[in-house]
Chains A and B, each alone.
Chain A
């Protein structure tokens, strides 16, 4: 069974630009969550999508948005990039009904904002 895939793996952008990251969940998983990992803040929850609907949202500004498609693939978008957005962005998929133990993470997309 293929794992969670994230594209691209690495990305360099400049301040003010916008970026779209993609996440393909494990087959059969309908829940996708996004996290931001930085050295100073650890792993912070961005949002969760289930059946194309945002089910939960973390404390991030409106520049961070996401969506989920009917095939459960998800994208997150960050507009007007700031230097502080440099981080590892992780997505995780799960069956949701199975609880957090069924949550599997992808390898992440490392974003560098210059």
Chain B
């Protein structure tokens, strides 16, 4: 059973526009959420995170929104740049440090010139 779902395998966005990547989760015990970015032939790199006590976290061009009642989070990238073309993974973890991090299957973002 997929506890973290990224239902869009791929997304194409025009350069300069907003990219919105979505993620749904089923486990109400998840307390901490992360987004990772992965380029080909490289490991994922941490992008931004949010804890359940917040509904928004912003870091430069990246903003993550969390809707706990809907068990949904989204990553907004504004404005989108060519270097943003990558696979983005949503991940979640419970409050306990010993909890494992559960990843979604990823969404491939293509930034079009």
Contact = CB atoms under 8 A, between A and B. Distances in A.
Q: Do A and B come from one complex?
A: yes
Given A43-B106, A107-B42, A48 B100 contact: yes
B93 A44 contact: no
A96 B100 CA distance: 11
A42 B105 contact: yes
Interface residues of B, number: 24
Contacts, number: 61
A41 B105 contact: yes
B103 A42 contact: yes
Interface residues of A, number: 26
B19 interface: no
A35 B89 CA distance: 13
Contacts of B46: 100-101, 103-104
8 contacts: A4-B43, A40-B105, A45-B100, A45-B103, A56-B98, A100-B101, A105-B43, A105-B45
Interface of A: 4, 33, 35, 40-45, 48, 55-56, 58, 90, 92, 96-97, 99-101, 103-108
The 10 lowest CB-CB distance pairs between A and B, nearest first, are A105-B43, A42-B105, A43-B103, A45-B100, A56-B100, A105-B44, A106-B43, A107-B43, A90-B43, A42-B106
